[in-house]
Chains A and B, each alone.
Chain A
Amino acid sequence: MIAADKVASDVASHFDRMKSEGCSFADARLYDEDSSQRLVLYDGNLESNTSSIERGLGVRVLKDGAWGFAATADLAAVAACFDRALSNARAAAHLPGFPKDMGLPQPTTGSYRSPVQKDPFEVPLAEKLAFLKGIDATLEDKTIAQRIVWAAFQRRKIIYWNTEGTEVDRWVSNVFATMMAMAPDKDGRTHRRSVELHGDGTGTRGWEWLTEPKWFSGHADRIKSELAEVLAADPLPPGRRDLIILPGQGFLQVHETIGHALELDRILGYELSYAGGSHVRPEMIGKLRYGSEKLNCRAGKHQNSPGTFGFDDEGTPQRDYMLIDGGVLVNVLSSRTDLGEANELAGREVFTESGSAARATSFYRTPIDRMTNISIDPGNDGTLDDIIAATEDGIIVDVPVSWSIGSNREHFHFGTEIAWEVRDGKKTRVHKNPTYQGHTLEFWRSLDMVGDQSTWCLQQVANCGKGEPNQVMQLGHGVPVLRFKNVQTGEKE
């Protein structure tokens, strides 16, 4: 196996070569180790018991305003990888547009380690399986038709270098887990109730987090009993009413109608043919009323989240900054490369620095603008009980079942696992088949209550998809309880 030191010296010599070839910038990411493991229990049967490892190098070069990227798992072939990236950049430059530009050099050195007490990869497989089997046993019941309990672990050791002298090394660890119970109602329609490993954004993210009952295993009995309530419930009648969203659903509302809409590559039209565009335009920064004045949304740096990684894949130290401040759009998710183009489109300087959101999913994918931790700040409207007490006619919804969003993120339709009716300040009964839909700006402008810190919860996203070639990314959303006025809920037919 070729050691990282040898790759580093090879990369340095090829950086010099790329500069002599006229490249304005080049960078390289060595995934010295990219380990993952996925364990799935389905009705108690171990249906996935897989571990895997990837190792390789990804190289980007910027020449004449265009990017070339190449990747190889053959670390004896670093020269060929640089050659291929250079020839790709040359080809791209045959159809030039607004020149890609990294701005002023930002040489950085540093390192990052995800906070972990007990590395899940050091925990014996048998111990992991025993833990998951224990949760499965709790879910097992004659009223439950299917049970799924799964956990996935990632450990990445990444070294980043660029021609500005930046060198950053990172060990990034992730743990994801879900439990789900399913059963049919009297009409034969299957319903489900689930919970994912979540947190409060603090603490560490190793095996110790997964095994802390408060954040995962302790919810098994609750989801079982809530599923029983759903099975006995009437469907949600259609109508306009207030909508109270718990963090288990709120994270996806934020993800789909704020996060994706604020990715600069989508805003500039670079994702149109696949993921889609955005209703946001660069000139709207500082002007667009995205939501009510209760809406404060940030790209955060929570200690314990898959959206926290120290430095992005251009070596930019991760920043904590507002995206929506008092309801007004003030920033977007960006990398270094498109800021000039966005400023020109806006007709003024709306962006001065990278949003530290350049992220790649593996050594063989190039960094693109991604979500990090897109979080809503807690508000001043009290606890969940306070919000319920202040609601005359509404529902509380939790955990997505389905999601469908317009290609510019301008409208959406969500289905959730459960809804609780709220009448005259009290939770009255459960409804099944809840759905709601709306138009993004109108919806966020109808936000009228934001729960306090006691309602705020960090939800993980293990599989956000975007980009061509496709990339699956991990990120986080911290969300309090949110209340929206007069929302279209339920299905009319």
Chain B
Amino acid sequence: MLESRIRDLLLAARKEALNRGLNAEFSLHRERSNLIRLGNSSVALSTYEELTRLDVSVQDGRKVGSYGLTADITSEGQLLEALERAAENCSAALPKDYDPIFAQVEEAIDDSSGFDPELESLSAEAKTALCKQVVDGLKPKGKYDFSGSWSSGSAEMYMTSTANENEAYRHLTDSRFVMVLKEQDKKWELSVERTAKALGAFSAEDVVAEFATLLPVYEGNQPYATETGRLRVLFGPQAIAQLLSLALWGGFFGRTWEEKRSYTAGNKPGDKLFSELVTIVDDPSHPDVFGMPFDFNGLRRRPFTVVERGVFKALLYDSMAAAKYKKRPTGHDLSNTDFVLSPGTGEPGIAGGLDAAGDALYIPHLHYIHMPDPTKGLFTGSSRFNAIRVQGGRFTQPMVSTRVTDTSPSVFSNITTMSSRSVSQNESNTYGRREPEAMSVPEWMLCDNVRITDVADSF
């Protein structure tokens, strides 16, 4: 549970809110983050941040106001001031035309199962040493530059409200390692990623070995610029996660569905949307994801099926959309979800994907993917690292940057087979706070008739 020094202050503030007759919710986020940034085969920067953020919301009937504070929390006075500011914002607010749902911690949660003190204290020296091993292992073999980053640290998330006595607390560690190898003259880029919840999940030898499997294709063959048109594509984990994110965002959010702005707007639960190979569950209990046990409306998060064997099962409602459209919130007042695309029956390993593919484009990464038209699920994005032409079940030529412009329903209906083995794909960002997020996806997904719309003249 949260350090008692801060917890006691929060509980005192909750009591003060009750004494004043305020409906107040308190959430606290604390992180310790270290990141090393690799550029041109050197560690050019190492950073450390230790930050505490407090968010307070006050609700009075149909009016809501919030206040946030990023500071070291040392006194009850700070909390009472934050409460006062939130109350002022609430007091001046415009009332909504619906009854907002007030946060209530459904059940007490105290979950430190994802916390590894050794990963939290992983030093910048140790990270630099592993990167050096990779660089030393590969640099002599070609004209290569290495860049990348390695972020690791811990996050604590806590919430309580005046609705009841319950408190919800999560403490976890995470690590994301990305290394990019760039050929200095030919300019192609390869990447290797690792996601971990605990120390020791990977080694420099693993990383070197993964680069080494890709290097001969890139070193020994001319770049390939494909024809445009509808082609067979073997997607890899990062691309699958990107496609899954867009499919969810464009199709399964309650608010956009209610407002008829999603590509599923003409559908209802029970309709067949995708290939029957497709099952999508937000499953905090899955071992590949970070598993957020509660959301910031206080709901206990449980496995939640969105699509089952291609059939539309349910929509995601945060508390705001649920209140407005008179639905039940589904535990999605958070940004760090835990989506799982169930694996298929294909042979595990990339060799299984290549065998199944025969002739195809292998696109493991999609860069800068965006939806010009969510009502059709139309997306566009371009290939990036590790993209290779597949001929006769073998990797043959590195691909130049290739644009895919298709629709989510089309791609997820045109899946022919997927690997039976899943991998954890890190989807975290650190724009605001450390909120680790990963998806579980099959390690490969073969799709026919994927629309390729443009090919660049470089990688």
* Interface residues in chain A, defined as those with a beta carbon under 8 Å from any beta carbon in chain B: 34, 41, 44-56, 66-77, 84-85, 87-98, 100, 124-126, 129, 133, 145-146, 182, 184, 188-190, 265, 268-274, 276-277, 279, 341, 364, 366, 401-408, 410-411, 413, 415, 433, 435, 437, 439, 465, 468-472, 491-493
By a CB distance below 8 angstroms, the chain A residues around B147 are 269-273
User: Min CB distance, A123 to chain B, in Å?
Assistant: 11
Q: Among the listed B45, B94, B123, which residue makes an inter-chain contact with A129, where contact means beta carbons less than 8 Å apart? A: B94
Is B287 part of the binding interface, using a Cβ–Cβ cutoff of 8 Å? no
Q: Among the listed B41, B88, B369, which residue makes an inter-chain contact with A404, where contact means beta carbons less than 8 Å apart? A: B369
- How far does the alpha carbon of A143 sit from the alpha carbon of B89 in the complex, in Å? 32
By a CB distance below 8 angstroms, the chain B residues around A133 are 94
A405 to B51, Cβ gap below 8 A?
Answer: no
Binding-face segment, B60-68, B213-221, B337-345, B411-419: B60-68
**CB within 8 Å for A407 and B382 given contacts A190-B374, A190-B375:** yes
By a CB distance below 8 angstroms, the chain A residues around B371 are 402
CB closest residue in chain B, given A65: B42
Q: Among the listed B135, B180, B431, which residue makes an inter-chain contact with A465, where contact means beta carbons less than 8 Å apart? A: B431
7 inter-chain pairs at a CB distance below 8 angstroms, sorted by A residue, are A66-B46, A90-B125, A95-B131, A146-B259, A269-B39, A269-B147, A273-B38
CB closest residue in chain B, given A189: B375
Chain B interface residue count, Cβ-Cβ cutoff 8 angstroms: 94
- How far does the alpha carbon of A87 sit from the alpha carbon of B92 in the complex, in Å? 48
CB closest residue in chain B, given A185: B375
**CB within 8 Å for A69 and B45 given contacts A44-B97, A51-B89, A407-B384:** yes
B429 to A145, Cβ gap below 8 A?
Answer: no
- How far does the alpha carbon of A411 sit from the alpha carbon of B68 in the complex, in Å? 40
**CB within 8 Å for A69 and B68 given contacts A95-B131, A492-B453:** no
A410 to B401, Cβ gap below 8 A?
Answer: yes
By a CB distance below 8 angstroms, the chain A residues around B44 are 66-67, 92, 97, 100, 270
A415 to B128, Cβ gap below 8 A?
Answer: no
- How far does the alpha carbon of A415 sit from the alpha carbon of B147 in the complex, in Å? 32
A415 to B373, Cβ gap below 8 A?
Answer: yes
Is B200 part of the binding interface, using a Cβ–Cβ cutoff of 8 Å? no
CB closest residue in chain B, given A279: B458
- How far does the alpha carbon of A41 sit from the alpha carbon of B95 in the complex, in Å? 11
By a CB distance below 8 angstroms, the chain A residues around B381 are 404
A415 to B260, Cβ gap below 8 A?
Answer: no
* Interface residues in chain B, defined as those with a beta carbon under 8 Å from any beta carbon in chain A: 33-52, 63-72, 85, 88-90, 92-94, 96-98, 123-125, 127-129, 131-132, 135, 145, 147-149, 151, 178-180, 182, 189, 191, 259-261, 265-266, 320, 324, 367-376, 380-382, 384, 401, 403, 405, 429-431, 451, 453-454, 456-459
- How far does the alpha carbon of A53 sit from the alpha carbon of B88 in the complex, in Å? 15
User: Min CB distance, A273 to chain B, in Å?
Assistant: 4
User: Min CB distance, A130 to chain B, in Å?
Assistant: 9
By a CB distance below 8 angstroms, the chain B residues around A403 are 368, 370
Q: Among the listed A51, A77, A437, which residue makes an inter-chain contact with B85, where contact means beta carbons less than 8 Å apart? A: A51
Known: A47-B96, A91-B123. 10 other contacts (CB 8 A): A44-B97, A51-B85, A53-B68, A56-B70, A92-B36, A125-B92, A268-B39, A413-B372, A413-B403, A469-B151
User: Min CB distance, B26 to chain A, in Å?
Assistant: 14
**CB within 8 Å for A188 and B375 given contacts A270-B37, A470-B431, A492-B453:** yes
B401 to A406, Cβ gap below 8 A?
Answer: yes
CB closest residue in chain B, given A98: B40
Best-surrounded residue of B67, B131, B135 (most CB of chain A within 10 A): B67
User: Min CB distance, A323 to chain B, in Å?
Assistant: 21
- How far does the alpha carbon of A366 sit from the alpha carbon of B48 in the complex, in Å? 10
B93 to A49, Cβ gap below 8 A?
Answer: yes
Q: Is the interface of B mostly helix, strand, loop or mixed?
A: strand
B89 to A50, Cβ gap below 8 A?
Answer: yes
B401 to A411, Cβ gap below 8 A?
Answer: yes
Q: Among the listed A69, A96, A188, A469, which residue makes an inter-chain contact with B260, where contact means beta carbons less than 8 Å apart? A: A188
By a CB distance below 8 angstroms, the chain B residues around A34 are 70
B178 to A49, Cβ gap below 8 A?
Answer: no
- How far does the alpha carbon of A77 sit from the alpha carbon of B48 in the complex, in Å? 14
By a CB distance below 8 angstroms, the chain B residues around A68 are 45-47
B93 to A54, Cβ gap below 8 A?
Answer: no
CB closest residue in chain B, given A126: B92
B40 to A269, Cβ gap below 8 A?
Answer: yes
CB closest residue in chain A, given B428: A470
By a CB distance below 8 angstroms, the chain B residues around A435 are 372
Q: Among the listed A66, A90, A95, which residue makes an inter-chain contact with B135, where contact means beta carbons less than 8 Å apart? A: A95
- How far does the alpha carbon of A46 sit from the alpha carbon of B60 in the complex, in Å? 13
A66 to B45, Cβ gap below 8 A?
Answer: yes
A410 to B456, Cβ gap below 8 A?
Answer: yes
User: Min CB distance, A200 to chain B, in Å?
Assistant: 30
B45 to A92, Cβ gap below 8 A?
Answer: yes
Q: Among the listed B45, B67, B324, which residue makes an inter-chain contact with A51, where contact means beta carbons less than 8 Å apart? A: B67
- How far does the alpha carbon of A277 sit from the alpha carbon of B145 in the complex, in Å? 13
B94 to A91, Cβ gap below 8 A?
Answer: no
- How far does the alpha carbon of A97 sit from the alpha carbon of B94 in the complex, in Å? 56
CB closest residue in chain B, given A90: B125
- How far does the alpha carbon of A410 sit from the alpha carbon of B453 in the complex, in Å? 15
By a CB distance below 8 angstroms, the chain B residues around A92 are 36, 42-46, 124, 128
User: Min CB distance, A186 to chain B, in Å?
Assistant: 13
A52 to B179, Cβ gap below 8 A?
Answer: no
- How far does the alpha carbon of A124 sit from the alpha carbon of B91 in the complex, in Å? 12
Q: Among the listed B33, B49, B71, B372, which residue makes an inter-chain contact with A402, where contact means beta carbons less than 8 Å apart? A: B372
By a CB distance below 8 angstroms, the chain A residues around B127 are 91
- How far does the alpha carbon of A406 sit from the alpha carbon of B458 in the complex, in Å? 10
A272 to B70, Cβ gap below 8 A?
Answer: no
User: Min CB distance, B85 to chain A, in Å?
Assistant: 7
A270 to B52, Cβ gap below 8 A?
Answer: no
By a CB distance below 8 angstroms, the chain A residues around B453 are 413, 437, 491-492
By a CB distance below 8 angstroms, the chain B residues around A471 are 431
User: Min CB distance, B329 to chain A, in Å?
Assistant: 15
By a CB distance below 8 angstroms, the chain A residues around B151 are 468-469
Q: Among the listed B35, B68, B97, B403, which residue makes an inter-chain contact with A468, where contact means beta carbons less than 8 Å apart? A: B35
A55 to B71, Cβ gap below 8 A?
Answer: yes
- How far does the alpha carbon of A95 sit from the alpha carbon of B129 in the complex, in Å? 8
A45 to B96, Cβ gap below 8 A?
Answer: yes
By a CB distance below 8 angstroms, the chain A residues around B67 are 50-52
B49 to A469, Cβ gap below 8 A?
Answer: yes
B89 to A97, Cβ gap below 8 A?
Answer: no
Q: Among the listed A70, A85, A404, A492, which residue makes an inter-chain contact with B380, where contact means beta carbons less than 8 Å apart? A: A404
A49 to B261, Cβ gap below 8 A?
Answer: no
Q: Among the listed B92, B125, B324, B457, which residue makes an inter-chain contact with A91, where contact means beta carbons less than 8 Å apart? A: B125
By a CB distance below 8 angstroms, the chain B residues around A274 are 149, 178
By a CB distance below 8 angstroms, the chain B residues around A271 are 147
B89 to A273, Cβ gap below 8 A?
Answer: no
B66 to A49, Cβ gap below 8 A?
Answer: yes
By a CB distance below 8 angstroms, the chain B residues around A48 are 66
- How far does the alpha carbon of A92 sit from the alpha carbon of B382 in the complex, in Å? 33
By a CB distance below 8 angstroms, the chain A residues around B96 are 45-47
A145 to B260, Cβ gap below 8 A?
Answer: yes
- How far does the alpha carbon of A270 sit from the alpha carbon of B37 in the complex, in Å? 8
User: Min CB distance, A356 to chain B, in Å?
Assistant: 20
- How far does the alpha carbon of A365 sit from the alpha carbon of B384 in the complex, in Å? 27
- How far does the alpha carbon of A410 sit from the alpha carbon of B401 in the complex, in Å? 9
**CB within 8 Å for A404 and B39 given contacts A74-B72, A91-B125:** no
B36 to A91, Cβ gap below 8 A?
Answer: yes
5 A-B pairs with the lowest CB-CB distances in the bound complex, closest first: A97-B42, A52-B68, A415-B372, A91-B124, A270-B39
- How far does the alpha carbon of A103 sit from the alpha carbon of B430 in the complex, in Å? 31
Q: Among the listed B94, B261, B382, which residue makes an inter-chain contact with A406, where contact means beta carbons less than 8 Å apart? A: B382
CB closest residue in chain A, given B45: A67
By a CB distance below 8 angstroms, the chain B residues around A190 are 259-261, 374-375
Q: Among the listed A71, A91, A182, which residue makes an inter-chain contact with B261, where contact means beta carbons less than 8 Å apart? A: A182
**CB within 8 Å for A47 and B40 given contacts A94-B129, A468-B430:** no
By a CB distance below 8 angstroms, the chain A residues around B430 are 468-470
- How far does the alpha carbon of A471 sit from the alpha carbon of B88 in the complex, in Å? 30
A97 to B458, Cβ gap below 8 A?
Answer: no
- How far does the alpha carbon of A468 sit from the alpha carbon of B51 in the complex, in Å? 16
